[in-house]
Chains A and B, each alone.
Chain A
Amino acid sequence: MSSWSFGLYPLVCNETIKMMRKRRFLVIVLILLVLIPIFSYAQMRISQESQKQLGTSDWRLKTEQQVKEITNRLSGSRTIPGSWRQQMELQVKQLQYALDKNINPATPNGVTFTREFMINAIGLFLPLMVAVIAADLVSGEQSAGTIKLLLTRPVSRWRILLSKLLTLIMFTSLIVLLTGIFCYLIGGGFFGYRGWTEPVLSGFRIIGDQLDTSAVRAIPQWRFILMEFGLAWFSCVVVACLSLMVSVLVRSTAAAMGIMMAALIAGSILSAMASSWHSAKYLFMINLQTTDFLTGSQTPVPGLTIGFSLAVLGIWALAGLIIAFAVFTRRDILN
């Protein structure tokens, strides 16, 4: 007598259909299709501008110019705050290292554009997109009243939430993937489609305030992008899990969205000022920028390691899911 304990597949089907028909996902695809060309165009103007100024397209000259500029600024002004100064010093060291190894740090092509776009999108833009599709998964059913039908069917509540989680992870992955594909296709239209095998320097480590280059290797760009997208996917899944929790806890979709947006935006503000507040490193939103560890950028809180960041994110996601499932399976549906 367990004919109703059938698989999750039909439930995931249901959630996928609802996700598509609600058109939220379509909106996100449209946002990507509008924003990526804008960024591509802006990027093109920047490189045209610098080419005009330097009068050359030789990357070595350009990089040397950049090093000179930053060094001038560093020595010319004593008022640059400590963390900025450190960041600029790191940048100079990285550029110098690239010159020494004769590896162009930013070749102009579609692949590089994709790589740079993802580094900029991982902290706020993509998490926001994920929050948009996740925030109404449960709260939307609550406010529309359809939760009453959903939960009176002979299917355990945890299965229903699990099917929602699986669908959400699927669509989160799709967002990350589509961002990559659109970046390459659109960016490639502006800068050319080559560059997968070009070398990228990765493995810079910051120990104290020193840049450690002992582990730096030149890896092909496709490998860098693979690692980068893996990290971005992980950050997005963590945001998805937490959004799902908020969606379970809050009855209105607008409130759920507001809470997630506030948390994410607070994260990016805090990142800029948390260098002296060390316990901020336990907040999930401070740790979302996991690509920092690939590029060797200064982390928001000094002394973060990739293992620590991934562990913090993982624990937050897990805790979020435990709360979501505990509340969802026990709660009385009163409204």
Chain B
Amino acid sequence: MAAVTRMTAVQAAEPAFEQPVLSVQGLKKRIRDKWIIKGVSFDIGAGEVFGFLGPNGAGKTTTIRMLVGLIKPTEGTIHVCGMDLTKRTNEALSQIGCIVENPELYGYLTGWENLEHFARMLPDVGPDRIREVTAIVGMDARIHDKVRTYSLGMRQRLGIAQALLGRPRLLILDEPTNGLDPQGIKEMREFIRQLAAGGLSVFVSSHLLSEIQLMCDRVAIISHGAVIAVGGVADLIRQETERVVWHVSPRQEAVQLLPARFPKAVRVLEEEGMSKQELAELAPDAWQGIATEMSAERIPDVTQALVQEGIRIFSVTIQNPTLEDLFLRVTEGKRIE
């Protein structure tokens, strides 16, 4: 039965119309008198890597705990493959594999014994499947050692092996790259993409923007317990206007010329890292950069205008907008690493 479910999951990865693997609507949580989560909604499709981005303390882990049934939502619904998590808890949970916060397994048991332990809590998971997931996460060499002796990276991998045991359709990982070295982070990223390519949906929470941008298809941004933006990573970034940095001389003339000639299309930004005083004191022919917010399509027009006025151009650089820009805009500058 499980094998059939798996196949449909892989097939369903292609078409655009399908039931979401995870659908969260209007999720709220009150603990005593305080609303910890004030409204979280999003859908995750099959084979999608979904990022859950927010600063520490924004409510990521609380939301995850609700997704896996550790905490009961005060309001809102969670559907896993169409099954209501609060009503058909066990059926819904059998579609989910998860690591909540740290991968805490029984330190006094070996990796293999830990997997056996959790395999006994699932239907139709035998030694073959344990061997399979051990191979998937590349733990074969040390699987019979006590977990107490494992490094954090190995615990993380064992945790994922455990999560994959029941052939879930959704994998939930809470800060999976936390505490890993750069090599480990890269491996984890590739591993997650690889799982998604096989049709598995992956929900990844992180407070690291670069992380989410590199590995996720779609992202929800959470701040102070509420989701403030959801969308494709590429779409969200596209919404941000591009930045073009000009290195020209004489600089002052260009700064005056640009808004005059292109009042709507080009916006000159404050110079980064320099005060107005310093800018004014610059030599007129110094070719300091000018940061502008404009569409890259207008570069030829602007170039022509500058050249006509006798301004010399040394370089034109297009700066790709990042999630960080978006994040800073939507959270209005709330700090993030």
Question: A residues within 8 Å of B by Cβ?
Answer: 1, 3-6, 10-11, 13-14, 17-18, 21-23, 144-146, 148-156, 330, 332-334
- Least CB separation from B90: chain A residue: A154
Q: Is the CB of A332 within 8 A of B70?
A: yes
Across chains A and B, which 7 residue pairs bring their CB atoms closest together, nearest first?
Answer: A145-B104, A10-B120, A154-B94, A333-B70, A154-B90, A153-B121, A152-B68
1/0 contact string of B90-124 vs chain A (CB within 8 Å): 11011010101110111111000100011011111
Q: Is the CB of A155 within 8 A of B70?
A: no
- How far apart sit A5 and B88, CA to CA, in the bound complex (Å)? 12
Q: Is the CB of A146 within 8 A of B122?
A: no
Say how far A49's CB is from chain B's closest CB, in angstroms. Answer: 46
- How far apart sit A151 and B89, CA to CA, in the bound complex (Å)? 11
Q: Which of B55-114 contact A (CB under 8 A)?
A: 65, 68-72, 89-91, 93-94, 96, 98, 100-102, 104-109, 113
- How far apart sit A225 and B10, CA to CA, in the bound complex (Å)? 65
A22, A152, A156, A330: the one within 8 Å of B70 (CB): A152
Q: Is the CB of A154 within 8 A of B105?
A: no
Q: Is the CB of B117 within 8 A of A21?
A: no
- Least CB separation from B97: chain A residue: A152
- How far apart sit A81 and B107, CA to CA, in the bound complex (Å)? 56
Q: Is the CB of A14 within 8 A of B108?
A: no
Say how far B8's CB is from chain A's closest CB, in angstroms. Answer: 15
- How far apart sit A21 and B116, CA to CA, in the bound complex (Å)? 14
Number of A-B contacts (CB under 8 A): 87
Q: Is the CB of A155 within 8 A of B90?
A: yes
Known A-B contacts A4-B91, A151-B69, A156-B90; the reply to A14 vs B121 at CB < 8 A is: yes
Known A-B contacts A13-B120, A154-B93; the reply to A334 vs B106 at CB < 8 A is: no
Q: Is the CB of A11 within 8 A of B68?
A: no
Q: Is the CB of B109 within 8 A of A21?
A: yes
Q: Is the CB of B104 within 8 A of A4?
A: no
Q: Which of A10, A148, A332 has the most CB of B within 10 A?
A: A148
A17, A21, A149, A153: the one within 8 Å of B122 (CB): A153
- Least CB separation from B62: chain A residue: A334
- How far apart sit A334 and B64, CA to CA, in the bound complex (Å)? 11
Known A3-B1, A14-B121; further 13 A-B contacts with Cβ < 8 A:
A11-B121, A21-B113, A145-B104, A146-B104, A146-B105, A149-B104, A149-B105, A152-B96, A153-B118, A154-B121, A154-B166, A332-B70, A334-B71
- How far apart sit A5 and B109, CA to CA, in the bound complex (Å)? 26
Q: Is the CB of B70 within 8 A of A21?
A: no
> Mind listing 18 A-B residue pairs with CB under 8 Å?
A4-B122, A11-B121, A14-B117, A21-B108, A22-B108, A144-B104, A145-B101, A146-B106, A149-B100, A152-B93, A152-B98, A152-B100, A153-B121, A154-B90, A154-B122, A156-B90, A332-B70, A332-B72
Q: Which of A154, A156, A333 has the most CB of B within 10 A?
A: A154
- How far apart sit A153 and B31, CA to CA, in the bound complex (Å)? 24
- How far apart sit A334 and B101, CA to CA, in the bound complex (Å)? 11
Instruction: Give every chain B residue within 8 A of A148 (Cβ-Cβ).
Output: 70, 100-101, 104
At the interface, yes or no: B292 with Cβ under 8 Å from chain A?
no
A5, A21, A153, A330: the one within 8 Å of B93 (CB): A153
Say how far B296's CB is from chain A's closest CB, in angstroms. Answer: 47
Say how far B109's CB is from chain A's closest CB, in angstroms. Answer: 6
At the interface, yes or no: B162 with Cβ under 8 Å from chain A?
yes
A10, A152, A334: the one within 8 Å of B69 (CB): A152
Say how far B160's CB is from chain A's closest CB, in angstroms. Answer: 12
Instruction: Give every chain B residue within 8 A of A333 (Cβ-Cβ).
Output: 65, 70-71
Instruction: Give every chain A residue within 8 A of B124 (Cβ-Cβ).
Output: 3
B71, B113, B118, B123: the one within 8 Å of A149 (CB): B118
Say how far B317's CB is from chain A's closest CB, in angstroms. Answer: 47
Q: Which of B89, B102, B104, B120 has the most CB of A within 10 A?
A: B120
A1, A4, A149: the one within 8 Å of B162 (CB): A149
- How far apart sit A298 and B240, CA to CA, in the bound complex (Å)? 86
Q: Is the CB of B70 within 8 A of A14?
A: no
Instruction: Give every chain B residue within 8 A of A23 (Cβ-Cβ).
Output: 108
- Least CB separation from B72: chain A residue: A332
- How far apart sit A11 and B120, CA to CA, in the bound complex (Å)? 7
Q: Is the CB of A6 within 8 A of B123?
A: yes
Q: Is the CB of A17 within 8 A of B90?
A: no
- How far apart sit A5 and B72, CA to CA, in the bound complex (Å)? 22
Say how far B16's CB is from chain A's closest CB, in angstroms. Answer: 28
Instruction: Give every chain B residue within 8 A of A14 (Cβ-Cβ).
Output: 117, 120-121
Instruction: Give every chain A residue within 8 A of B109 (Cβ-Cβ).
Output: 17-18, 21
A4, A17, A21: the one within 8 Å of B123 (CB): A4
Say how far B223's CB is from chain A's closest CB, in angstroms. Answer: 21
Known A-B contacts A332-B71, A332-B72; the reply to A4 vs B106 at CB < 8 A is: no
- Least CB separation from A22: chain B residue: B108
- Least CB separation from A140: chain B residue: B106
Instruction: Give every chain A residue within 8 A of B123 (Cβ-Cβ).
Output: 3-4, 6
- How far apart sit A330 and B86, CA to CA, in the bound complex (Å)? 12
Instruction: Give every chain B residue within 8 A of A330 (Cβ-Cβ).
Output: 72
Say how far A252's CB is from chain B's closest CB, in angstroms. Answer: 16
Instruction: Give every chain B residue within 8 A of A3 (Cβ-Cβ).
Output: 1, 123-124
- How far apart sit A144 and B65, CA to CA, in the bound complex (Å)? 17
- How far apart sit A14 and B119, CA to CA, in the bound complex (Å)? 10
Q: Which of A5, A150, A332 has the most CB of B within 10 A?
A: A332
Say how far B225's CB is from chain A's closest CB, in angstroms. Answer: 15
- How far apart sit A146 and B101, CA to CA, in the bound complex (Å)? 11
Instruction: Give every chain A residue within 8 A of B91 (Cβ-Cβ).
Output: 1, 4, 154
- How far apart sit A18 and B120, CA to CA, in the bound complex (Å)? 13
Q: Is the CB of B117 within 8 A of A17?
A: yes
- How far apart sit A125 and B108, CA to CA, in the bound complex (Å)? 28
Say how far A162's CB is from chain B's closest CB, in angstroms. Answer: 14
Say how far B105's CB is from chain A's closest CB, in angstroms. Answer: 7
Say how far A7's CB is from chain B's closest CB, in angstroms. Answer: 11
- How far apart sit A334 and B162, CA to CA, in the bound complex (Å)? 21
- Least CB separation from B113: chain A residue: A17
- Least CB separation from A10: chain B residue: B120
